[in-house]
Amino acid sequence: MGHAVAPRPEWSTLPAPGSRVLVTGAAGGLGRALSGALADVGAEVVGIDVPGSGATVTADLTDDDSAGRAVTDAVARLGGLDALVGAAGVVDTIHRAETFPLKEFRGDIEANLVAQFTVAQAAFPALREGRRPSIVFFSSLAAETGLPGQVGYAAAKAGVLGLTRSLAAEWSGSGIRVNAVVPGLVATPKVLGMPPGVRDRLLAGVPMRRVASLAEVVGPVLYLLSPAAGYVTGQGLRLDGGAELGQVGLHR
């Protein structure tokens, strides 16, 4: 770590070689794919996930002290920090809104929104000293379209977009860019495990009529971390197969 590396051109859509990247949710399907892709393009990666997940650093990110210690550990392992990818989150709670238990609603907000801020705040001092520092959060299409049965998750992911824009505005003076990706359905084990009828109903409003591959999410994240995205901040990049585009008369 800390060795000299040749920079990529300003127009490169890949992170700079030797970039020191912290990935939360690193043991999940997307987290593993991201970590592997980052390593493949020459980044140095440390992942954080829950205890027992096999991640390099383990923590309960809904616990402030645990999250802070995990970030400190990860930064020490990397010898600094150039990028943070907030891919951690949960999407397990399903209730109608009128019967949604408040404890579970608060749990969704803690896991999917508060933990993102806690990690970013803990990472700020190291990012401020990093090379071309950047943050990419994971939001969700549910933030913009709603998600019946998962009001807590949708509300938290909407909050991630507000968090993204607020941090981008505040931290631009420190040279830190902050963006989000906003995926629709992605080919994670949970989505692939859905009953086909359920998945088909969810895809009915998607012109491309399929879920995104992991690579189709990883690629945009790499772009947002790259020199080519150096003038991009405060944005939510939708990865949705054209969801909500005009569908009248199509696919008949």
* Residues that are catalytic: 153
CA torsion angle 53 58 63 68 (round to 10): -150
Closest CA to 185 of 168, 166, 162, 209: 209
d(CA 148, CA 32): 28
Q: What is the 3-state secondary structure (H, E, C) of the chain?
A: CCCCCCCCCCCCCCCCCCCEEEEECCCCHHHHHHHHHHHHCCCEEEEEECCCCCCCEECCCCCHHHHHHHHHHHHHHHCCCCEEEECCCCCCCCCCHHHCCHHHHHHHHHHHHHHHHHHHHHHHHHHHCCCCCEEEEECCCHHHHCCCCCHHHHHHHHHHHHHHHHHHHHHHHHCCEEEEEEECCECCHHHHCCCHHHHHHHHCCCCCCCCECCHHHHHHHHHHCCHHHCCCCCCEEEECCCCCCCCCCCCC
